[in-house]
Structure 1
Amino acid sequence: METQAWPWPAGAATGVGSLPGVDIAEAQRIVLGELPALPHLPELPARGPGADLIGRTAALLVDLPVELYAARWRVAARPGRDLRRARDLLERDLDQMTEQAEGFTGTFKIQVAGPLTLAAGIDLPTGPRMLRDAGAVRDLTGSLAEGVRLHVADVRRRLPGATVLLQLDEPSMPAVLAGRVPTESGFGTYRPVETAPATESLRRVVEAAAAPVAVHCCAPDVPLELVRAAGAAAVALDLTLVRRLDPLGEAIDAGLGLLAGAVPATPTAPGQRPTSASVAERVGRLWDQLGFPRARLVEQVVVTPACGLAGADPEYARAALTACRDAARRLAET
């Protein structure tokens, strides 16, 4: 592989996005303190509707208002209270980022839901999910692409010395492609989305961002070839869900960066805390199994938790970020 410049420093670690708690100021301080090489904008879903993955991203949509109905997001006729709340929460978070990361000159990561997960998570006004209507999915993708373009530009304006890395969260992508998304009744599933339109949806958002993009999916059967074809710079995976090494090795060899999820999102036993040694060993073992030199790992891999940490207690969440940071430093020294 030719020499490649990665959109993060060597030996970096970062978080997936979500953290426990409701104090965004404290969450941003923790991220900047524990992950100085590649900090991110925290997400705090415990604050309620509008701080969740779907509602938070829906706040970015252009000319496509949404509202809550029966605890689900659906397309609305006009912007209302639910959308205002989601936008207010995001604006508050961005203000904290601007204040606390002032003068930051490295790479800063932000996260939004991808188009396939949004299509599976937002309902049409008549009830079915947007996923049911190919035209609605195209409209949603266009709205998201424009919203992402504006969002990335806003973060660049707020942090003029930083490089923005966009993470597209696509936890529903394998289910969308395989036709496993349940209908409203729960007795059926939506038809699978073909690879070509799925790739085009993802590519449209990636291109609109005009920034390096990592696609995150903490589910089995991540379609690595689709992620590459969409133009993403990296993929973020839960290492415990990697079943086949060959597709991952091929993607890495072709130049895809890896955000390696190596710390459980919640404790595996009461009082358990991750250690940097065990995290470094897990990442290094996988890399060795793939057959790549360790020097390349330091450049191409970022160490992360396996998924968001919103379900963990605050002490574990902070320990997980610390373990990722120190594991990345261990790997850089070997």
Structure 2
Amino acid sequence: MNQTDDRTDGGFDGRFDSGGEPDRRTDGAPADVPAKPVWGAATGVGSMPGDDARETAKAVTGTFEDFPHLAELPARGPGADMIGRTAGLLVEVFARVEPSGWRIGDRPGRDTRRSRSWLGEDLDALEEFTQGYEGPLKIQVVGPWTLAASLELRNGESALSDPGACRDLAGSLLEGLTAHLADVRHRVPGARPVLQLDEPSLTAVLRGQIRTASGYRTHRAVDRQVVEDTLRQVMRANDGPALVHSCAPDVPFALLRRAEAEAVSFDFSLLTERDDDTIGEAVEGGVKLLAGVVPGTDAPLSDPGGSVMGIRTLWRRLGLDPGTLAESVVITPACGLAGASPAYARAAMEHCVRAARSLADNPE
């Protein structure tokens, strides 16, 4: 499938409409107030190892001092995983754990309550360690298409099989996100939330590669315009910056740019020269790159300058001004750190900060 096509064949043609398109602002300030920076030099992707919310929040905020994130701790079990955590945010849509995964049910149950309780613990810890903080704060949730590919309907099939279910999920996610972001702003008044939609299944959704419950077939590819429109609407839950993260190959940079993502987060090691044109166009169009250059699982860490050498090479290959590197790139791990040891996770975060400093000090 050609990633530059405007549409994929065979997809549904429904439209999700939240009923309005609120103005997008970079920092939530009045128009006559000078804008503050909304991006730090380095941040995490989302998940962390362990099950201690306070220790995790302390480590994250202490390392990423100018761009912390609300960490996820999937080691706690179902409800703390990325799908369960986001399912707990949904409004009037409830999910429970089945042997095959998360399935939509009729009413909130133990799994929903557990998901919401753990999120509350994480927010309490974040609030404790961000007293007086002013600056960007990244909040991650699963995006509408990975959510639709991962949640099962009552018949056991993915919600992706039903266009109406996809629209309902997107609308519910938008409503839940709006409330979640308002809670974050209330808890951390000086924060400027940056919304990250995790979409590792996005490319598979676009290419019709998500398998049915039987495993013998795949769901039809979703129309690219529908995917784009839905992402745009959900990102508008935030009145500040929004980005999309995927650590899968072949991230659709052009589609995400059209969907008004202000940044794209990705595993830098998966880039190929086929991506050059779309990345160059995105950067020149003002899209920020959250470049995952530090391994997400335990591995030897090179010197910080070596970790960002590939980014410098990419800039030269694209003919971009090296002086724009620091303002165009945020350094992150390649993906979440849930599979890493606690010691490595701390080292990886610190390495991201040092690598970002190296990129700013030595762009050539």
| TM-score class normalised by the smaller sequence | over 0.9
Q: How far 1:274 sits from its partner (Å)? A: 4.2
Identity of aligned residues (%): 51
Task: Tell me the CA shift for residue 204 of structure 1.
Answer: 1.2
- 1:35-80 deviation per Cα after TM superposition (whole angstroms, max 9, x unaligned): 1111111111111000101000011101111111115111111011
Tell me the equivalent position of 1:333: 361
Q: Structure 2 matches for 1:58-77, cutoff 5 A?
A: 58-77=87-106
**1:303 counterpart (315, 325, 331):** 331
Give CA-to-partner distance per residue, 1:80-118, whole Å, 9 cap, x none. 111000000001100111111111001111100000000
Q: Which residue of 2 aligns with 1:265?
A: 296
Q: 1:261 to 1:234 in 2, by over 3 A?
A: same
- Tell me whether 1:216 sits opposite 2:245 in the alignment: yes
User: Structure 2 counterpart of 1:316, which letter?
Assistant: Y
Structure ranking higher in helix proportion: 1
Query: Of 237, 252, 256, which residue of structure 1 is paired with 2:287?
Result: 256
Measure the CA separation in 2 of the matches of 1:246 and 1:326. Answer: 29
Could you tell me whether the CA contact under 8 Å between 1:124 and 1:130 is conserved in 2? yes
Asked whether the equivalents of residues 6 and 299 of structure 1 are also in contact (C-alpha less than 8 Å), the reply is: no
CA shift at 1:277, angstroms?
2.3
SS of the equivalent of 2:332 reads strand
- TM-score, structure 1 as length reference: 0.95
> Is the 8 Å Cα contact of residues 273 and 316 (structure 1) preserved in structure 2?
no
Structure 2, unmatched stretches of 5+, are 1-34
Summarize deviations over 1:259-306 as a string: whole Å, max 9, x none.
0111111134xxx23431221323322222222122211111100011
| Bigger shift: residues 259-268 or 134-143 | 259-268
TM superposition shift of 1:6? 5.7
Query: TM-score if structure 2 supplies the norm length?
Result: 0.87
Measure the CA separation in 2 of the matches of 1:301 and 1:82. Answer: 38
Count of paired positions: 326
1:290 equivalent in structure 2: 318
Partner of 2:6: none
Cα distance in 1 for residues equivalent to 2:126 and 2:314:
34
Q: What's 1:45 paired with?
A: 74
Partner of 2:137: helix, strand, or coil?
strand
For 1:1-334, list aligned pairs within 5 A: 7-9=38-40, 12-243=41-272, 244=274, 245-268=276-299, 272-334=300-362
Checking the alignment, whether the CA contact within 8 Å between 1:263 and 1:274 is kept in structure 2 is no
- 1:312 Cα deviation from its structure 2 partner: 1.0
5+ residue gaps, structure 1, are none
Distance 1:144 1:215 in 2: 15
Runs of 4+ in 1 over 3 A off after TM superposition: none
RMSD (CA atoms): 1.4
The 3 A distance-change label for structure 1 pair 45 and 25 is same
Provide the secondary structure at the position in 2 that maps to 1:22.
coil
Counterpart of 1:32 in 2: which secondary structure? helix
Question: Which whole-Å CA distance do the structure 2 matches of 1:250 and 1:20 have between them?
Answer: 36
SS in structure 1 at match of 2:308: helix
- Distance change in 2, residues 1:118/1:301 (3 Å): same
